[in-house]
Structure formats: C-alpha cells, structure tokens
Amino acid sequence: MRKLGIVVTAIACLMMAAVAFSAEAPVAGAAKGQMSIGVFGGMGMPMGELADTDLGNMKTGFGGGAFFDYFVTPQIALGLDGGYVTMANNEDSSVKANTMQYGLHGKYFIPTGGPVVPYLMIGLSGYGQKVEAKEDAIALSFSSTKFGFNGGVGVDFKVNESVFVGVNGLYHMAGKFEPEVDGTKEEVFKDWNFMTLNAAVTFRIPMAK
C-alpha cells in the first residue's frame, strides 16, 4: 500500500502543477475527429497477492506498450491499447510473473487552457497471465487468460503541434490466476493486480484540410 500511496501522490502533484503552469499558455486541445498514436514504458508494481511475501512475493519490474486514440469530442477520446509487464520473485529471480494486456479505453482530457493537459482514463482489457520458473535445466510455465479493468490518471505536455510527452499511472485488476493443471483449473492467486507508472510519447496524426 505504501507504493500505491507514493504513486498516487506523485501523479496528483503533477496534475495540480499542470493546471497552475498552463494558466497563461497556448491551448493544447484536440479537435473532434483527431487521431493519435503513442508508445509508453516504465515500471510495473505488484499489488495484492502478487506482492504478498507469503504468496507471489514479486518485486517491481518493467514494461511497455503502445496505444491509439480517436477524439469523439475535443475532451473525450476512445482507443485501443496493448502492453507487457514482467516482474521477478524477490527470492528467486528465475521465477517471473508476466502479463500481456490488450484492450479498449476511454480518456477524458481536463481542459486547462495550456500546453499541459491532465486526463482520466478507464479501460476494459484482456490479460494473459503467466508464471514462469526455471530449476536447473527444467522450465515450467503456467498461464491463464482473464478479462479485467484498469483505471488511472495521466498528464501530457505539448512539445509541438504533433508531439506530446507525459506520464501516467494505472491500476490493473486482472481477475484471478487460474492456470489449467492436468486438465483442471487451479486457483493460485485470488487476484492478479498490479500498477503501472509510465512515461509516454504521443504523436497526433495531422487531420486532412
């Protein structure tokens, strides 16, 4: 929970600074019908049973991905996203929890009147969960696929008309981890939850005149 508090506090401070900084700056809003693509990368932090020292005992890892947005209004965008996060066990780095995520999202960009634009985001995703382990020459792998939710906040900064840079933090709730063992699903974790804190670069696609 300490990790969660630090991340939420940091992003909240960024958003407040964004509103204050942008008061006298040019507007960075998008037009209806605008499209953008982007890439992101950063940290993946285990939560719930993935972080529990008696269960997953995973440590902070890393990940990245890409996204596409379509602005249905100047403040609201709908889009697609996909990402990958890997985390290793605190005691045995050969044991890893890997997540492949792909889904749909919505973003609400808070109008500030300037080049720094905070936003809220919520998404519905499929999560490919996998635990991998190596013991000498033997490799083991257990996997499960679930649908889950994610949500969080972010801040974009306008570099020029086409390029934005920013940060975002999301909490992912990917359901239970129930791999199939000998033809039967076995519950290993009651929750497969984690947070991501990423830096992102967004490229807005020029609209036809």
Residue 166 CB partners (closer than 8 Å, separation 6+): 154, 155, 156, 157, 199, 200, 202
For 63-100, how does the pLDDT look when each residue is reduced to its tens digit (9 = 90+)? 999 999 999 999 999 999 999 999 999 999 899 999 99
Please answer whether residues 51 and 191 qualify as being in contact, where contact means their C-beta atoms are separated by less than 8 angstroms: no
Q: Would you state the pLDDT for residue 113?
A: 81
Q: Would you state the pLDDT for residue 30?
A: 81
For 148-159, how does the pLDDT look when each residue is reduced to its tens digit (9 = 90+)? 999 999 999 999
- Does residue 56 carry a pLDDT above 80? yes
Give the separation between CA 188 and CA 147, rounded to whole angstroms: 17
Q: Would you state the pLDDT for residue 18?
A: 44
For 154-202, how does the pLDDT look when each residue is reduced to its tens digit (9 = 90+)? 999 999 989 999 999 999 999 999 998 888 889 999 999 999 999 999 9
Give the separation between CA 42 and CA 44, rounded to whole angstroms: 7
Banded pLDDT at 27 (limits 50, 70, 90)? very low
For 128-149, how does the pLDDT look when each residue is reduced to its tens digit (9 = 90+)? 999 999 877 788 899 999 999 9
Q: Would you state the pLDDT for residue 2?
A: 52
The model's pTM: 0.84
Mean per-residue pLDDT, 111-116: 87
Q: Would you state the pLDDT for residue 19?
A: 46
List helix spans (H) across the chain: 2-21
- Ordered by where they begin, the domains of the chain are 2-25+34-205 (2.40.160.20)
Give the separation between CA 58 and CA 44, rounded to whole angstroms: 10
Read off φ and ψ for residue 3, nearest 5 degrees: -60, -45
